[in-house]
Structure 1
Amino acid sequence: MIRKNQVAQVSALGRLVIFITGLLLASVVKSTTTQGVMQLSLQEQLDKDVPFNHSLWVGTHNSYNAREWDSAYWADPNQDISIYDQLNSGVRELTLDVGDYGTFFGENQLRLCHGICAGGEKKFRRGLESIVRWLEEGNLQSVIMLKLEINSDHYGQIADQLRGELGNYLYEANRSGGGSNSCVGLPVDSISKQDVLDAGKNVIAINTDSVCPQSGRFRSVVHLGLQYRNFYKDKFSKPSDSNACELITSDVRKQMTRLHDPSTLYGIGSGGKGPQDKEITESNVSGYLSCGLNIFEMFWFNGDGSAGHLEPDDLLWSWESTEPNNWRDNENCAVSKANGRFNDVPCLNSYHFACRDGNDWKVTFTEADWSQGEAACAYEYPGSVFDVPYNGYDNARLMKAKSAAGISVVWLAYHDQNKEGVWQRGSKKH
């Protein structure tokens, strides 16, 4: 992260490359109403009840540095679409670099920039306003993780703007024990998205720096990250390694894991780090999902997969590409197919059942319609529950159980019988 005393230098030739590349890649605002976005919105409901370190966070690196959002200033963007449109595309983890510039009428202006702000950048509050706008448009069942990289000493003002703009949507650090005399980390091994929602909140702010500021206001509002609660660990093992999943799920099970792409438009245009050597690609993302990595901070994630970048479908471990489709208005219960992907089918079909038995998955010998799932699991594996996977790693474990049982398709405790399109976990219709 660039500090105040580190100012990025871009040569005249580099600026020309940025300008030309920007012209080549400039495009109209993209539609984010895709099948993949809808599937991502369903998928995010599946891990609401598990701790953050077992949940998936689709994110963007330097979310504010977006061509569409501030094309007049940002000549070297990390992202194509605005913060608001990123949220519409399925992003739930945003990264904002907060700096400051000058004093106008006695008020220091907090802005979004790398290192030293020049004064033309978007104000910090504008990024927060984008989040509020999206939440208030019918998205209050989602939780947003707001990761701050701070290059300013105005911690109290940052806290005031977070409170002022986000208001009651903000899950403040004082709920986790923070306050004027203490800095607290986010308890990622115990807090869940549902805990945040049950508190009537939607946004958690985290500062990933190692500094515990003196400002009591800041300590009360913002959770401290890396040094205080082992917030996350960057990816340290490729999913192609034979025991990579075990490393990720055991050695760092009490913290989160992150993978990020720091690419920029200038990096592509100058032959630097670009789409050809991204950390997160179509070829490896499924492996990372099945290993249980939590945070995917992507570059140029724009909801439609253009320019060779990832699209929402690539972040799916759950639904099959064209599902759920409620074929003939008669598909309200979900199965796990042979490939591990979900499909909606008529609830009166007959299949085996997926049962969670402690930390293991079991598959019943019984075949029956969906309504018999709870009874079948309790009968064959006392103490087990009819259930549905909550992340890619959990789904991979179910796949192993199906393979061991020699069964390819099983019922999942997942349905939309109460309201079409509103999928819910559990075995009860009401």
Structure 2
Amino acid sequence: MKRKLTGLLAFCCLTMNTVMSNAFADKISDFQNSWQGKTLQAQRQLDVYSPMVDNNIPGTHNTYNSEAYTSCNFSVGCRYLDPQQKYNIHDQLRMGARFIEIDVHWTTKMEGIFSYPKRLLMCHGFCSLNDKYFTEGLSEVKSWLNSADSHNQVIILYVEDHMDGRHQDAYNQINSYLGNWIYRSEGCKSIPDTLTKADVIAAGKKVLVWGDGGCRNNSNWKNMAFTGLGNIGRIWEDRTTIGTIGNIITGGSDDYITASDVTDYFKQGANIVNLDDMVTDDGRLEAGIWSWDNSEPNNWNGDQDCALQWGNGRWDDQSCDNIYAFACRDARSGDWQVTSNVGVWSQGQNECQNLGADFHFEVPTNSLDNERLKSAKETRNFSNVWLNHDDRMNEGDWQVKGKSTQSIQQNNPVNQRILNGKLTLNAGDSLTTQNRILIMQHDGNLVLYRFSNGVIREPLWATGTNWSNHHKAIFQSDGNLVVYNNFNNPVWASHTHSAGRELVLQSDGNLVIYDNAGQAVWASNTQN
């Protein structure tokens, strides 16, 4: 009877955990599909062409320190007993966190009763022997990056460095999981003031890594990670017991970031606002909305394709043939002015140019600029002004100054052509075109995937060599494409030695080796 009761209790607990997990997931899906979720998504697209130093970026503080990982039992011991988040890393990204923070420590990990090696772990304050591996957090980030949610999105991954110099290990792990998505620093530098999310997306990337502690000696790490945020500002809170005790000892205050704080911070020009306990229903995410007014845009009667700012500073979509003044911005000073003349939406640029050659028809892309425009509008005693924001070309694709915020042209080539002897793909390296990505995976498999809009889709072809790590693929000078294992023994080959001259990842999606006469001698047969 005791065994049956124990089993029943375990089953009930497992069922309850599953139900709660599904309920949490459903709440996030509901939020994403709500007006609030869709408007926040629109704001993340609105600022894609503006320097990130001007963006409003919601994030989470100590992203990994979540009650989703809290436990204290025989199998995993005790860990994350003073959590700062409710949801796991993947779900925080789904809610809209675009700055995530992971404290990485080189510390002891219990891997067995008699096994206590040092590993890179995610831990807060005092590390536990059972804290999660850094790779477990990276795996969740990877899962989100490979989802449709990450389309045209850019995140900053902050690695708080407690790694005791193990930067090569950290580089290997990040490169293994996220390497295809990393926008690299190319040396010891902060994030440039001029960098836009569009620049990152156009390069086929989605992640900026910021590693604190300054420039490091490891060349791989310093060429991947930025050493600072530059002029991107950051505000965070600390709701942990440890944080409270620390504030008492130092005489500081343990300020919580409220919904009104979020609104005010963004109005005042804050960039990153890091929340503890990010959830969908406490009003703080919604407080980050500064653009569209409630239930807008709604395309009433199917004839509302142009945006205006109305009296309260929020936005409405209206017929482009209505008559209003225009929002203009000085390209040199950044100052906003409103025209004295009024007209239909399409007259905006001409009317702004009448104010001077440096004035252009514009749309605010952050809360501070929206407030500045509101003040300029009130100075002119106008209630409503046109914004250079429209979806006339495609319903729902709201353009910024004539550029799409949903279809950002990537710089990936239409095809890749490589002569023999000129290609080596180590573990984590890839070859990318606009519709395919060839990856030498860390499991040893060389895989060709369908690729579109920055998202890796389904696998189309593979060498089937996924039984060990540290493999590499070489298109050799003899024309043979070969995968070698970590003992430098060949484990797969195209058998095109003495014939292959050029490897081409074609625009039709086919990977082909051609001979000197331009005849195909091997192909993956993955066209279209």
TM bucket (normalised to shorter chain) is 0.7 to 0.9
1:30-429 correspondence to structure 2 within 5 Å? 30-31=27-28, 32-33=31-32, 34-70=34-70, 73-102=79-108, 108-138=118-148, 139-153=150-164, 154-174=166-186, 178=187, 183-187=188-192, 189-210=193-214, 212-225=215-228, 231=229, 255-264=231-240, 278-305=255-282, 310-358=283-331, 359-427=334-402
Q: Distance in 2 between matches of 1:71 and 1:372?
A: 62
Question: Counterparts of 1:420 and 1:46 in 2: how far apart (Å)?
Answer: 15
Q: State how far apart, in whole Å, the 2-side matches of 1:285 and 1:311 are.
A: 7
- Once the two structures are overlaid, the 10-residue window that deviates more, 385-394 or 41-50, is 41-50
Q: What CA deviation, in whole Å up to 9, does each residue of 1:207-228 have, x standing for no partner?
A: 1224x33322211211112xxx
CA separation in 1, counterparts of 2:288 and 2:356? 33
Larger Cα Rg: Structure 1 or Structure 2?
A: 2
Offset at residue 314 of structure 1 (A): 0.4
Instruction: Measure, in 2, the Cα distance between the counterparts of 1:388 and 1:162.
Output: 37
Q: Distance in 1 between matches of 2:176 and 2:170?
A: 10
Q: After the TM superposition, which segments of 4 or more aligned residues of structure 1 sit over 4 Å from their partners?
A: 69-72, 103-108, 265-268, 427-430
Equivalent AA in structure 2 for residue 351 of structure 1? Y
Instruction: Write the distance in 1 (CA, Å) between the matches of 2:254 and 2:297.
Output: 33
- Give me the TM-score of the superposition, normalised by structure 1: 0.77
> Does the Cα contact within 8 Å between 1:326 and 1:345 map onto a contact in 2?
yes
CA RMSD of aligned residues (A): 3.0
Conserved in 1, the CA contact under 8 Å of 2:352 and 2:359? yes
Q: Given residue 159 of structure 1, which amino acid in structure 2 is its aligned partner?
A: Y
The change in CA–CA distance for 1:357 and 1:186 in structure 2 (over 3 A counts) is closer
Provide, for residues 31-86 of structure 1, a one-character-per-residue CA deviation record: whole Å limited to 9, x for no partner: 23232221111112222223222112111100111123555643321011111111
Taking the aligned partners of 2:117 and 2:170, their CA distance within structure 1 comes to 12
Q: What CA distance in whole angstroms lies between the structure 2 residues aligned with 1:130 and 1:428?
A: 32
Higher helix fraction (1 or 2): 1
AA in 2 matched with 1:75: L
- In 1, the alpha carbon distance for the partners of 2:237 and 2:285 equals 16
Give the AA of the match of 2:329: R
Give how far 1:428 is off.
Answer: 7.7
Gaps of 5+ in 1: 1-22, 226-230, 233-254
For residue 60 of structure 2, what is the amino acid of its counterpart? T
Q: Whose strand fraction is larger, Structure 1's or Structure 2's?
A: 2
Q: Is the 8 A contact 2:238 2:256 kept in 1?
A: no
* 8 A contact 1:100–1:117 mirrored in 2: no
| Structure 1 CA distance for aligned equivalents of residues 51 and 235 of structure 2 | 19
What is the identity, as a one-letter code, of the residue corresponding to 2:391? D
Mapped to 1, the partners of 2:357 and 2:338 lie a distance apart of: 13
Shift of 1:397: 1.4
Between the aligned partners of 1:221 and 1:427, the Cα distance in structure 2 is 33
Partner deviation per Cα, 1:331-387 (whole Å, 9 max, x = no partner):
221110111111122222221111112322121222222222222222354442111
In the TM superposition, residue 106 of structure 1 has moved relative to its aligned partner by 11
Count residues in correspondence. 363
Of residues 52-61 and 418-427 in structure 1, the stretch that sits farther from structure 2 once superposed is 418-427
Deviation string, structure 1 residues 125-184 (Cα, Å, up to 9, x no partner): 12122222112212230110011112222111001111111021001221xxx1xxxx33
Partner Cα distance (2:154, 2:66) in 1? 22
Q: Contact 1:98–1:151 (CA<8 Å) still a contact in 2?
A: yes
Q: What SS is found at the alignment partner of 2:233?
A: strand
SS of structure 2 residue aligned to 1:388:
coil
SS at match of 1:406: coil
Q: Percent identity?
A: 34
Gap runs ≥5 in structure 2: 1-16, 73-78, 408-528
Contact 1:70–1:122 under 8 Å retained in 2: no
TM-score (norm 2): 0.63
Structure 1 window deviating more from structure 2 (201-210 vs 213-222): it is: 213-222
CA contact (8 A) 2:323 2:342 kept: yes
Q: Secondary structure at the match of 1:75?
A: coil
Check whether the contact 2:239–2:256 (CA below 8 A) recurs between aligned residues.
Answer: no
Q: Deviations over 1:262-292 (max 9, x none)?
A: 1137879xxx9xxx96442223332221211
DSSP-derived class of the 2:59 partner: strand
Contact 2:70 2:83 in 1 (8 A): no
